[in-house]
Amino acid sequence: MVNLRNTAVSEQDPYRPPICAIAPDLRSRMEKAADEIVEIANELAGANRNVVSALLDPETPFYEWQHYPKGDVFDPLTHAQFYYHSHNGEWEEHGHFHTFLRAGGMPETATPVPHEGDDKQDWPEGSDALSHLIAFSIDHHGLPARLFTTNRWVTGETFYPAEDVIAMLDRFDMNVAGPYEMTGRWLSSMCLLFRPQIEALLRERDETVAARAKIYAPTGKDIYEDRALEVTSACEISIMDQLQWLGLLDE
C-alpha cells in the first residue's frame, strides 16, 4: 500500500473550517472522494507509477518546463480540462496541475469580472471562455503538497469572481478513457476532498487582487496583467492530514 503521508499532520489549518461546520452532504462526498484517492494511489503504486508518471509516455523523453500532455486533457461531456506543468530538479516541487472548466460546463449565471487598463488584454469569450479553478503542486515523490490560485495572465483564462468559480467546482468531473483516466479521476476527487481549502483560497485570491488593484489604480494598468502578481493565494496540504481531519484514520 502506498504511503500517502507527505507532511506532518497539523493541529490547525486557517484554510479549513471546524469539521462540525461542514454540511453532512458535502462531508459524505468528501469521504467518498478520499476512498477514491486512496484506491487510485494504491493501484498506481502497484504498477510503480503515480498521478504524474501516469500521464507520460515511457517511450518519450521527459522535458522540464513543459506542459503534459500536449494539447491538455479535455472531457467533451463535462468541459473539464487539465494539464501538468513540469519544473526542473532545482525546484522544491516537481511541477503542478492546472485545472479548468470551459464555457460549456459553466453555470449560466457565471459572469467574468470587469477589467480595464492601458495594457488591457482580450480575454477568451463565448464558447472559448475558460476558468482556472485551482492548481495542485506536486512534490518529487508524486504527492500533492500545496494548493494555489493564480492571476489571470498566468493561464490566459477568463477571470470569474470567486463565488462563480466555487459554483463551478462540482462540475469539474474528468471522465476520460485511456492513459489519462486515473489522473483525471484523481484530480476530480482532489477538488472535492479539499473543497473547503479551495473555496477559502478562491476568496482570498479575490481579496489579494482587490487590494493590489487599489495600489495599481493610479498607474492606469490592468491588474490582471500584472507580471509581479502571479500566485494570488496558496496553502500547504497533506492527504493524510485531511483524512485525519475527517476522522477517517480512526476507523
Domain segments of the chain as ranges = 21-245
Sequential DSSP letters for 47-81: TT--TTGGGS-TTS---TT-EEEEEEEE-TTT-EE
Mean pLDDT of 20-26: 96
β-strand 80-86 against 130-138: which pairing, if any? unpaired
Tell me which DSSP letter residue 217 carries. G
Q: What pLDDT digit, counting tens, does each position of 79-130 carry? A: 999 999 987 666 688 899 999 999 999 999 999 999 877 777 899 999 999 9
Residue 4 has pLDDT above 80, yes or no: no
Q: What is the pTM of this model?
A: 0.92
**Within a 13 Å sphere around the CA of 190, how many CA atoms are in the beta-carbon half?**
29
Among 193, 208, 206, which Cα is nearest to 238's?
A: 193
C-alpha span between 173 and 110 (Å, rounded): 18
- Peptide linkage before 69 cis (omega within 30 of 0): yes
Q: What pLDDT digit, counting tens, does each position of 165-218 carry? A: 999 999 999 999 999 999 999 999 999 999 999 999 999 999 999 999 999 888
